[in-house]
Amino acid sequence: MQKLQGIAVSPGVVIGEALVMDNEGFRIPRRFVARDAVESELERLDKAIAAAGEEISFNRDVVSRELGQKYGAIFEAHLQMLGDTQLRGELEEMIRQRHYAPEYAVSRTLRRYAQVFQKLESHYLAERANDIFDIEKRLLRSLLGRRREGLAQLTSPVLILAHNLTPSETANLDRKYVRGFVTEVGGLGSHTAIVAEALEIPAVVGTGPFLTDVSGGDVVIIDGDQGLVILHPDEETVARYRHEVEEHRTLAVQLEALRDLPAETADGVRVNLFGNIEFPYEVDHCAKRGADGIGLYRTEFLYLGAENEPDEEVHYQAYSRVIRTMGRRPVTIRTFDLGADKLSHMPSPEDERNPFLGLRSIRLALRNLPMFRTQLRAILRASVLGKAQVMFPLVSTILELRQAKMVLSDVMEDLDERGIRFDRDLPIGMMVEVPAAVMMIDHFVKEVDFLSIGTNDLIQYTLAVDRSNKDVVSLYNASDPAVLKLIATTIEAANKSGIPVNLCGQMSGNAVYTMFLLGLGLRQFSVTPSAIPEIKKVCRSVSIHECHGIAQRALSMENARDIKSYLKGELRKRVPELSP
Ligand code: PEP
Ligand code: MG
């Protein structure tokens, strides 16, 4: 049994069979070969080695001719590794003695070699691991050939174990069969993590390298509550986790009973619980859980994974479905927040070394006006079908906000001229996710109809910590007093000026913070749909008066660790069934 500690990004526990993805995104099955097929499998291996050798020699010749011998020598080193008799001997041993298929033997052996290099002190030598991965890829390409299987052909439930999954790959996972996933890289606030919650499957990211220790078909436990991954669990552990799965189920059934009750505190204050969605189908998950509306529709997912830029009709159909399903309940449509880790068909800027500080979000929209206008036209057309609101992401200056509003009024004029109906009083809001916006919040509140605090980004920009980097995850902390003060300032400014303020970052769906946020005066929470029942449970179990005291006490503390443990303690006292 092997335990890996990663970062918990989507709750729940699942026990199942592993499907291991290689670093090109193809699965490497742990296949065994029959005793009488060993010779022919060895022949297949030798053919693959020869084919890979030919490819490398060809590259060496081209590069030597074009750039000189010195550069060709890089490939010479690859050829030497490929022809190494020790490597060939180890592969043969795995196939002959252990009856592993050549693909599995190649992957396992070369990854072990690469690991040795990766652990070396010398940066130069550690980089050589990439050469080994390159050879592995070549051999696998040749061995798997047409038999390479992607994630499209799943026929039974699996847990995906991969080096990395992009947000769009995650979005396209087959919901019927994928029951959980683990990635070696990734951070707490990455969009891959957010999509995992949307899929409602347990997920752990940022475990560090482990794929060499596991094979397709192995039993694995993913504990999305604690961020643990257990490879080859013993019977006792499996039994303990089975019990936990049952407990999760029982709690979910208890919480379901709250569905038709309002999110109202014990002293009668009504709170709005909205859902965050990435895909139109999730509106059904929100409706099923009694959401008061959609607080954040991440429309950029219409672009991710699409071959072409979605046209106005594609936008319109998606928004119509969501708005119609919600009826009189509000739907906040955020204009596309592309860039950084959410890349679409658009070419990325060439020199973007800090994409989270680069051309993303509203900045990208304002540089691509035809694309922006297409989306705004669709939102406006759909606005007559229910109660829509539009929201701009990542606003950092007043002028930027005014520019976005001008584009919107320009599109309105355009529709008017063409006699197309839209909601003239469509509320216009902005996300507060950059500290600069908080510093200037007294000005912003005069120019928008509502605010929504995006803590996922606010944390990263306040603490200068990349939301998707596992190596700085301990700094990526919603409990940090600096972050809490910015949230308090924003809520206070909105309440003072009488405009609604929502909080739609992941923090909103974490029961640990609910009392604190209620105590600051927040009355709108927008959370991943599966978190609605839990947050409602907290709201119904506490009074605003006690929450106020808790918020004041937390704000007086000086470090994240004390604040978090204080808030956890307060939650445990009042709603013990939700305490981790
Ligand atoms: C946020 O930053 O908190 C947010 C809700 O937006 P996203 O996670 O899509 O960046
Ligand atoms: Mg954001």
Closest-approaching ligand to the CA atom of 395: 2
Q: How far is CA 133 from CA 106, 130, 235, 294, in A?
A: 11, 5, 35, 44
Other Cβ atoms closer than 10 A to 129: 20
> 424-452 burial, b for 16+ CB within 10 Å, e for fewer?
eebbbbbbbbbbebbebbeebbeebbbbb
**Which position has the token pair 């909601």?**
423
Query: Residue whose CA is closest, atom 4 of ligand 1?
Result: 454
111 and 211 in contact (C-beta within 8 Å)? yes
Q: Model's pTM, two decimal places? A: 0.80
Instruction: Label residue 573 left, alpha or beta by phi (over 0 means left) and psi (-120 to 50 means alpha).
Output: alpha
Locus of tokens 């999954």 = 165
Among the four given CATH numbers 3.30.70.100, 3.40.50.920, 3.20.20.70, 3.20.20.60, the one describing domain 267-578? 3.20.20.60
pLDDT in tens, the chain (580 residues): 899 999 999 999 999 999 888 655 556 666 788 889 999 999 999 999 999 999 889 888 887 887 778 777 878 888 898 999 999 999 999 999 999 989 889 988 887 888 788 777 777 776 677 788 788 888 888 887 755 455 666 788 999 999 888 877 788 788 889 999 999 988 888 888 888 888 889 999 999 988 877 877 889 999 999 999 999 999 999 999 999 899 888 988 888 888 889 999 999 999 999 999 999 999 999 999 999 999 999 999 999 877 789 999 999 999 999 999 999 999 999 999 998 877 766 666 667 788 899 999 999 999 999 999 999 999 999 999 999 999 999 999 999 999 999 999 999 999 999 999 999 999 999 999 999 999 999 999 999 999 999 999 999 999 999 998 989 999 999 999 999 999 999 999 999 999 999 999 999 999 999 999 999 999 999 999 999 999 999 999 999 999 999 999 999 999 999 999 999 999 999 999 887 5
Instruction: Give the side-chain half-sphere CA count within 13 A for 281.
Output: 6
Ligand 1 pocket: which residues have CB below 6 Å? Answer: 194, 296, 298, 337, 433, 454-457, 504-505
DSSP alpha helix (H) spans, 221-326 = 235-256, 282-288, 312-326
CA of 224 to the centre of ligand 1 (A): 21
Of all protein residues, whose CA lies closest to atom 8 belonging to ligand 1?
A: 456
Residue 345 is predicted with a pLDDT of 64
Which sign, positive or negative, has the C-alpha torsion 61, 67, 68, 74? negative
The SS3 call for residue 35 is: helix
Known catalytic residue: 539?
no
| Fold adopted by 2-27+150-250 | Glucose Oxidase; domain 1 (3.50.30)
For atom 3 of ligand 1, the residue with the nearest CA is 454
Determine the pLDDT at residue 28: 66
Residue-range domain boundaries for the chain = 2-27+150-250, 35-147, 267-578
- The whole-angstrom separation of Cα 221 and Cα 205 is 14
The predicted structure's pLDDT at residue 580: 58
Active site residue 163: no
DSSP category for residue 219 = E
β-pairing verdict for 450-453 and 203-205? unpaired
pLDDT for 128: 75
Beta bridge partners of 254: none
- In this structure, are residues 241 and 221 in contact, taking their beta carbons and an 8 Å threshold? yes
Pick the catalytic residue: 285, 286, 504, 547?
Answer: 504
CA of 393 from ligand 2 middle (Å) equals: 7
Q: Whose CA is nearest to atom 1 of ligand 1?
A: 454
What architecture does CATH give domain 35-147?
Orthogonal Bundle (1.10)
Spatial distance between the Cα atoms of 206 and 190, rounded to a whole number of angstroms: 11
